[in-house]
Amino acid sequence: MDRGLFLLPSRIALDVTRRQAIGFISHAHMDHAAHHAMALCTEPTARLVRYRLGDVSTKIMPLGEAIEIAGLKLTAHSAGHILGSAMVYAEHDKGTVLYTGDFRLGPSATAEEAQLRSADYLIMECTFGHPNYRLPPRDTVIEMLLEKVHEAFRRGATPVISAYVLGKSQEVTKILTSNGIPVLQHPDIYAISQIYQEAGCDLGDCRPYQGRPVPGCVVIVPPKPITPGGLPGAVHVEKFHVTGWAFDPRRRRNAPQDHWIPLSDHADFDQLIRAVEEVEAKTVFCTHGPKSFVEELKSRGHDARWLE
């Protein structure tokens, strides 16, 4: 049996990570992409997928423009997750489906704001589907980040931010440079940032890290290079983790001396509830999160089910 999500009867795969004849790729994180015979995605996602997987054959889905394929009408809508991320809205004579992929409501520094749409059936990711994951307002989190970065500078330290290579690193870069703070990026991050630039997403004053810190600059690295020894070439480092998991006490206990900034590119608990209410689906299918979220939705009067 071929596991994964598929639109039937067309067999269009939804973020399936094995090669398929036709596969919709919501965004270019590798747990959502594969080298499909034909990949359906937005133009920025196509650029990023080709960088990460090679010469993938793509059919571009401009946001808001319906395409006909395999007997279905499909429309991509922005998901607010990372550059190029999209939901897909499918129309069939038996009803309509909205598949969110990873999404976030509200503004983003580097992604178009998510656009929800009413549908008969909603398939949604629910990573933060527990009430513990109610994140502070975005402006508050950004103020927290900027304040702690400036405090580190005043102490003569180099702020070193741990963030995912694709998505979070570029958003944090844009937030910092928009507030007058230049950024040095790990080479793997910088390579992807150049694709952002080519796609028209200006990240401001960012350069590759070349082995030593520069006064007044923040350094952004993937999670693994932040080691107990700090950053090669830097004497005094203060470490930052920018993630929605900043509220998880188990993760904070692993590095209690570091700065934890709760900026997420996933919808938090309240945004997940809001999405369900706005889509007004007859049935909600949940995936990639706590199964308790299904019971939460049922308690609110929704027909909710868990997708294994």
If asked whether residues 180 and 225 sit together in one domain, one would say yes
Please answer whether residues 19 and 10 qualify as being in contact, where contact means their C-beta atoms are separated by less than 8 angstroms. Answer: no
Candidates 238, 227, 279, 234; CA nearest to 260 is 238
If asked whether residues 160 and 240 sit together in one domain, one would say yes
**pLDDT at residue 16 in the model:** 96
Which residues lie closer than 8 Å to 258 by C-beta, 6 or more apart? 238, 239, 240, 241
Burial class (CB in 10 A: 0-12, 13-18, 19+), 263: buried
Q: Within 10 A of 269 (CB to CB), how many other CB atoms are there?
A: 21
Candidates 236, 94, 103, 85; CA nearest to 160 is 236
**pLDDT at residue 230 in the model:** 60
**pLDDT at residue 93 in the model:** 87
If asked whether residues 146 and 195 sit together in one domain, one would say yes
Percentage of the chain modeled with pLDDT above 70: 97
If asked whether residues 121 and 15 sit together in one domain, one would say yes
> Is 2's pLDDT higher than 70?
no
**pLDDT at residue 226 in the model:** 54
* pTM of the predicted model as reported, rounded to 2 decimal places: 0.94
> Is 131's pLDDT higher than 70?
yes
What are the residues facing 92 on neighbouring strands? 95
Work out the average pLDDT over 12-17: 96
Q: Say which amino acid occupies 135.
A: L
pLDDT tens-digit series, residues 287-297: 999 999 999 99
Burial class (CB in 10 A: 0-12, 13-18, 19+), 307: exposed
If asked whether residues 179 and 282 sit together in one domain, one would say no
> Is 252's pLDDT higher than 90?
no
**Spatial separation of the C-alpha atoms in residues 91 and 93, rounded to whole Å:** 7
If asked whether residues 127 and 270 sit together in one domain, one would say yes
Q: What is the 3-state secondary structure (H, E, C) of 69-106?
A: ECCEEEEEEECCCCCCCEEEEEEECCEEEEECCCCCCC
What is the domain count for the chain? 2
Please answer whether residues 166 and 48 qualify as being in contact, where contact means their C-beta atoms are separated by less than 8 angstroms. Answer: yes
Work out the average pLDDT over 95-108: 97
> Is 225's pLDDT higher than 90?
no
> Is 227's pLDDT higher than 70?
no
Please answer whether residues 125 and 101 qualify as being in contact, where contact means their C-beta atoms are separated by less than 8 angstroms. Answer: yes
What CATH number does the domain containing 102 carry? 3.60.15.10
**pLDDT at residue 1 in the model:** 35
**pLDDT at residue 254 in the model:** 78
**pLDDT at residue 231 in the model:** 74
pLDDT tens-digit series, residues 173-189: 999 999 999 999 999 99
**pLDDT at residue 133 in the model:** 94
> Is 261's pLDDT higher than 50?
yes
Burial class (CB in 10 A: 0-12, 13-18, 19+), 114: buried
What are the residues facing 230 on neighbouring strands? 227
**Spatial separation of the C-alpha atoms in residues 94 and 129, rounded to whole Å:** 29
Q: What domain range is 174 assigned to? A: 138-261
Q: What is the CA radius of gyration of the chain?
A: 20
Query: Any idea which residue has 């808001």 for tokens?
Result: 64
Domain boundary among 224, 241, 261: 261
Domain boundary among 245, 261, 277: 261
Q: What is the mean pLDDT of the chain?
A: 94
Which residues lie closer than 8 Å to 282 by C-beta, 6 or more apart? 120, 121, 303
> Is 250's pLDDT higher than 90?
no
If asked whether residues 271 and 127 sit together in one domain, one would say yes
249: confidence class by pLDDT, cuts 50, 70, 90:
confident
If asked whether residues 179 and 280 sit together in one domain, one would say no
If asked whether residues 43 and 115 sit together in one domain, one would say yes
Q: Within 10 A of 153 (CB to CB), how many other CB atoms are there?
A: 17
**Token representation of residue 118:** 């009413």
* DSSP string computed for 23-54: EE-SSSSTTS----SEEEE-HHHHHHHHHHHS
**pLDDT at residue 269 in the model:** 97
If asked whether residues 297 and 216 sit together in one domain, one would say no
pLDDT tens-digit series, residues 56-85: 999 999 999 999 998 899 999 999 999 999
Domain boundary among 242, 261, 280: 261
Most trustworthy range by pLDDT among 7-16, 171-180, 221-230: 171-180
Higher pLDDT, 164 or 252: 164
**Token representation of residue 174:** 């844009």
What CATH number does the domain containing 223 carry? 3.40.50.12650
Please answer whether residues 121 and 202 qualify as being in contact, where contact means their C-beta atoms are separated by less than 8 angstroms. Answer: no
If asked whether residues 252 and 277 sit together in one domain, one would say no
If asked whether residues 147 and 247 sit together in one domain, one would say yes
Q: Say which amino acid occupies 55.
A: D
